[in-house]
Structure 1
């Protein structure tokens, strides 16, 4: 079932209806095609997003975010501007690196793709990033977060336009530093998925805490597999370790399952649970029902209720108008990826000039829905990682985004420049790889 749509808002309803039916029936969702036709397109973008399984929400919302970006570009054309005409193809990598590489190769060979975008799993992203370097195809990551992709494994053709694990953990470390001043917490535990993203998130947090001079004792670090159905042994182990704070890098359905299972124990009576990268996602807010479990500290890569700017309100309203529901952060990430590619083509003046496109992306400023007043996100020329502010908070009652009855509030806002990795740390991590080490260097005592 192949679908070709034009960047017109009404068309997305057909896509979402078909996609919802596929997910409900447990079927393998086939690829989606959006935007300009093959003959009309100035450039083709091949995107990889999950369409089925526990993380299907990320793919579903990313498709809508892409459509909103295409609609915005069409609106610019109608206003007399000349943005590029983009054709976007999205397919499901099934969380498998080898299959993702095969799909990406087909994007290039069969669809003449000039760009890759998307990818939720950092493990899958590493494989596609290697292909992008080999084939000289610019890859714009919109969801995966391991900081290794932009630091140790960074290269000319890889860019990322959503927060990475370093950014989120740098914000989290600042929150924990300030919390320690209030509560005196000392005992810290970590639980994360047993693959690149989880392990790098833990190392990033330790590096950030040590850089701020925070004194703490690590009492446990646990590594359940991705999509683990039963977290009881991990929850019991954490309770036995008696941490004051547990930080987690579990995401999506895994994080929701962990919370639900922990709520059947005394876990939330004895410790605080923090998720600084994905925890405030809208799907989590819905899953919590009307239960703001005590001690939750959450953030995400985009919030529907922060910042309260016209640009963010417009994006959330556009998404709701198209779908009848509110977005997860994946939508804004995918939106940003398409807009970044469009602006790079405009700036370079040619969709086929690799070097001009890379130069255009390096330092590119983007005014995005998640940007607070007075700040515009930009892509760091050295790491090719987007630089953004981050808001961390706690769960409060808020029924402005139904059916969720809860949202994050009581915000602590962290300046984008403060969350950038230092040049010294980036050099140290890259030098470690050049010297033969594949691991992120451990925190300096």
Structure 2
């Protein structure tokens, strides 16, 4: 009897150990949401960046002894669809965490979903200030430098121009509206006599470049602030070049130095524009050099800004899970507070006060070389140095 009982116990122990090992071997599932069809120029490189990070992490033993698995869904650039697929990723695909989004409106929708469901969400790309301020919550963190941060990097360059009459052009949704509001506020602080003489705010993806260019020219501004991107930017640049809108008129422009938006312009790239962007050819740091070499080896092409964002987002999640020693949303939210991550632009910190990372951006001017648009005289601006005061952040976030 004693022998049979002992054998039965041994069998049960073995089964329990096997079950535990099987459970430990379950992958960590990242539920990723994005506008792949609508914003392919940025998000195909972004997908490649994620793939590179996953490969490096998983071949290195994974995280907490488990492999990372990416489950992506397209949100059709629609906030309602973004929430629907987020729910599907949690309920049907059993995702441990949520990550991604591109447009500010979809990012805000998933931010609110994360709050309601008490689920950790890393907003990789959307730039809306509200994600970490007015609509910020315990469970949401953001990687990319916000609209406020990138505009704050450009305003000192705009002030140096000493131009009094400014015209503004931007896509008429959260990102564009926020960019212009911040530009007005910060430039006015540095240059109290500035005037804003014209605004053009076409719907995203639907710019009538001829009408917009003519309206701006009619206002006779001394300088222009632009926040258009992707196809809207290309149409505006081509029409503006044709009508000589930019002749002897400086332009300060968000995102226009990113290869996703600069490369399609080729020799039509607007020379002299002051931009934020990603001059991958000229960044001389060990961190970026290693990333560039690995990316080119795997994909046979150079990285775009999306590549850096996708790679850094996955690396951030891996670092956060390691620090939390868990995938539990509550523990992850606590672990991300003050989390430091090494990425291609150097080390970043996720700020405890508003859950914004200190990832920076490059500021430089556009030029054309060998028939291609490039950034010249680019320098990196540390995101930690382009933030409102902690008191302002606290007021914006309330008690969130």
TM bracket, shorter-chain basis:
0.7 to 0.9
Structure 1 residue aligned with 2:308 = 332
Structure 1 residue aligned with 2:263 = 286
Distance 2:132 2:178 in 1: 12
Structure 2 residue aligned with 1:58 = 42
Q: Could you say what secondary structure the match of 2:338 adopts?
A: coil
Retained in 2: the 8 A contact 1:380–1:386?
yes
Q: Could you say what secondary structure the match of 1:140 adopts?
A: strand
Retained in 1: the 8 A contact 2:362–2:378?
yes
TM alignment of 1:24-35, pairs within 5 A:
none
- 1:144 deviates by 0.8
Among 333, 336, 356, the alignment partner of 1:358 is 333
Retained in 1: the 8 A contact 2:367–2:375?
yes
Structure 2 residue aligned with 1:225 = 203
Structure 2 residue aligned with 1:384 = 355
- Relative distance call for 1:424 and 1:58 in structure 2 (3 A) is same
Q: Could you say what secondary structure the match of 2:198 adopts?
A: strand
- 1:346 deviates by 0.5
Structure 1 residue aligned with 2:3 = none
Q: Could you say what secondary structure the match of 2:293 adopts?
A: helix
Structure 1 residue aligned with 2:223 = 245
The alignment yields a C-alpha RMSD, in angstroms, of 2.4
Structure 2 residue aligned with 1:44 = 29
Retained in 2: the 8 A contact 1:41–1:86?
no
- 1:392 deviates by 0.9
Structure 1 residue aligned with 2:16 = none
- 1:315 deviates by 1.9
Q: Could you say what secondary structure the match of 2:313 adopts?
A: helix
Q: Which runs of 5+ in 2 are unaligned?
A: 1-21
Ranked by relative contact order (alpha carbons within 8 Å, sequence separation 6 or more), the top structure is 2
Give the TM-score of the pair, scaled to structure 2. Answer: 0.88
TM alignment of 1:249-398, pairs within 5 A:
249-276=227-254, 278-300=255-277, 302-352=278-328, 354-371=329-346, 376-398=347-369
- 1:430 deviates by 4.0
Q: Which runs of 5+ in 1 are unaligned?
A: 1-36, 435-445
CA deviation map 1:78-100 (0-9, x unaligned) = 9xx85652111112111111111
Distance 2:269 2:81 in 1: 39
Q: Could you say what secondary structure the match of 2:295 adopts?
A: helix
Greater helix proportion: 2
Query: In terms of Rg, which structure is larger?
Result: 2
TM alignment of 1:199-238, pairs within 5 A:
199-213=177-191, 215-238=193-216
- 1:329 deviates by 0.9
TM alignment of 1:79-118, pairs within 5 A:
84-118=66-100
- 1:245 deviates by 1.8
Equivalenced residue count is 379
- Relative distance call for 1:157 and 1:164 in structure 2 (3 A) is same
